[in-house]
Amino acid sequence: MVRLALVLAAWLAGGAAHAVDDPYPWIAAAYLVKRDGAVLWAGQPDAKLPPASLAKLMTALIALERGRLDEPVTVGRGVLQATGTRIGLKPGERLRAGDLLTATVVRSANDACRALAEHLGPSRNTFIVKMNDRAAALGLANTRFADPCGHDREGQYTTAADLALLAEQVMRHDEYLRLARLERVTIRTLEGRSFTLRNTNALLGRYPGAIGLKTGHTEQAGNCLVALAERDGVRVMAVLLNAPNRWWNAVGLLDRAFAAAR
């Protein structure tokens, strides 16, 4: 990972003298980089694209703003329809809302996300309405959600610019930042069944200062990432949508943004 970072950083630096609004068009279908809240570089930041599991940022935000994370949740039959990444929840099991949030953030588990959304909704469809209402309140004019967990759905889209704003809202919650940086964690049902979860973010433990923030992948969305890192009080965020080499590219962008802050 370190060697890859050096190679990509050199590549990025080579184009710095010709920097424009989109200095690195090969990186992703859309991307945006912020340092301490200010935009450094962006490519197609307002292009409407599928969000994949980056949609879970909104699910997490609604859960955190509601609070009551110690509240018990009974898993419904909707988890049987969850596809992709799952931890194997069974209908009728009970977990803390906070533990469902943990599995949603750390492992990007779609069954945990579905159970949490149906608890907060109190149905999947009513929760989607809440997601879109909150997006509108935040001024995310180019975002529309159609699935709490980010599965590919007709009419669902967002932009790198909107995701950066959503991520900044989520980052106000210390609990999200705590969860996002966990490399591994164990949660348990109230009946005692345990799940050991490994974070989907490959930067954690490998990239100095990495905090998170969320990964995503679907067939239509490709590889997506909101990467967040902090060094010496400087915080850098990179949003990448449909980025074939998201880890290489995120490392290079973060390195270059930190270097420019010196």
* 53 carries an active-site annotation: yes
The residues facing 238 across adjacent strands are 33, 227
Q: Which of 48, 90, 108, 214 is catalytic?
A: 108
90 included as an active-site residue: no
- CA separation for the pair 146, 156 (Å, rounded): 5
Model confidence pLDDT, tens digit, residues 122-171:
889 999 999 999 999 999 999 999 999 999 999 999 999 999 999 999 99
Q: Which helix (H) or strand (E) holds 168?
A: helix 160-170
Which candidate in 34, 48, 56, 194 is catalytic? Answer: 56
Q: Give the position of tokens 């290489």.
A: 248
214 catalytic? Reply is no
Per-residue pLDDT tens over the stretch 203-233: 999 999 999 999 999 999 999 999 999 999 9
CA distance 42 to 253: 11
Q: Which CATH superfamily is domain 2-260 in?
A: DD-peptidase/beta-lactamase superfamily (3.40.710.10)
pTM of the model: 0.90
Predicted local confidence at residue 262, as pLDDT: 67
- Report the alpha-carbon distance of residue 235 to residue 232 in Å, rounded: 8
Domain residue ranges in the chain: 2-260
Q: Rounded to the nearest 5 degrees, what angle is found at the Cα of 234, between the Cα atoms of 231 and 239? A: 95
Please give the Cα distance from 123 to 128 (Å, whole number). Answer: 9
Which residues is 43 bridged to in the sheet? 31
